[in-house]
Structure 1
């Protein structure tokens, strides 16, 4: 009986490690950074009251004092449309991401992840001055480099 309990605990610990590995491997969040552009001087900035969400979806990202956001693109469509308001007084912008999806096999236990290759990012210019795609590949192994940088003149 002692050996059975030991094997059961050992199996539970092994599964927990695989779950952590799968969670990290399957996470393919995009990273968007905010930069303030004032008279040609660009610097990282913290926005006061950010509201960010995918239009037509239930999830919402609302935080105070952020300089970047991490978010998921749709794994079943070739584009995603987002709403962004960087403070309570600003006019909101919409941002459209167009991309190609590639299924990527992680392991038999984890299954497949969806990797993305950004093609085009289009934004309204209510508060967003401009944007740059820094890194087109959005994968689970992507480093800390922001995929998109938004420039604000406010």
Structure 2
């Protein structure tokens, strides 16, 4: 009789771990709302999507996000405790690096009792140096999902 209770106890504990693991995955996906940036090439007033061959990007003073990767899009994680972030972006091994500064406001939103609160961002300003990036366009100021394209980065065509 005592062993049946022990087996049932182990089964309940195991079921609890499985339930928590699934909620953790849901929370991670729900909390992920990175700023999505898409690359465009500007050539004689013809705009085309472009693949940058050697992208390196990192948050200034923080970790590397991308290192020597061929990309058409980048995703930046904005700080939930600061109102601005700066990023180093180099799109080709021979190009001069640019910096991009994002200024935004933050709003907490309730997700669920298990997940807690997340942060939505409202992009106010985006500033870039123009070594390789010609200009940027804010496409969507509300950063509530990584599925939306928030920023378009335009690059000049090298002759």
Q: Which TM-score band (shorter chain)?
A: over 0.9
Q: TM-score, normalising length from structure 2?
A: 0.90
Contiguous gaps of at least 5 residues in structure 1 = none
Highest Rg: 1 or 2?
2
How far off is 1:37 after superposition? 1.1
How far off is 1:60 after superposition? 3.5
Are 2:19 and 1:4 aligned?
no
How far off is 1:76 after superposition? 1.3
4+ residue stretches of structure 1 with deviation over 6 A? Answer: none
- For the residues of structure 1 that align with 2:148 and 2:119, how far apart are their CA atoms? 19
Are 2:89 and 1:78 aligned?
no
Aligned length: 152
How far off is 1:39 after superposition? 1.1
Offset from partner CA, 1:56-75 (integer Å, 9 cap, x none): 11333214211011120111
Aligned to 2:3: none
Please give the residue correspondences for 1:15-54 in structure 2 after superposition, counting only pairs within 5 Å.
15-54=20-59
Are 2:142 and 1:127 aligned?
no
- For the residues of structure 2 that align with 1:58 and 1:29, how far apart are their CA atoms? 15
Please give the residue correspondences for 1:130-145 in structure 2 after superposition, counting only pairs within 5 Å.
130-139=135-144, 142=145, 144-145=147-148
Query: Once superposed, what is the RMSD of the aligned Cα atoms?
Result: 1.3
Q: TM-score, normalising length from structure 1?
A: 0.93
Pairing partner for 1:89 from 77, 89, 94: 94
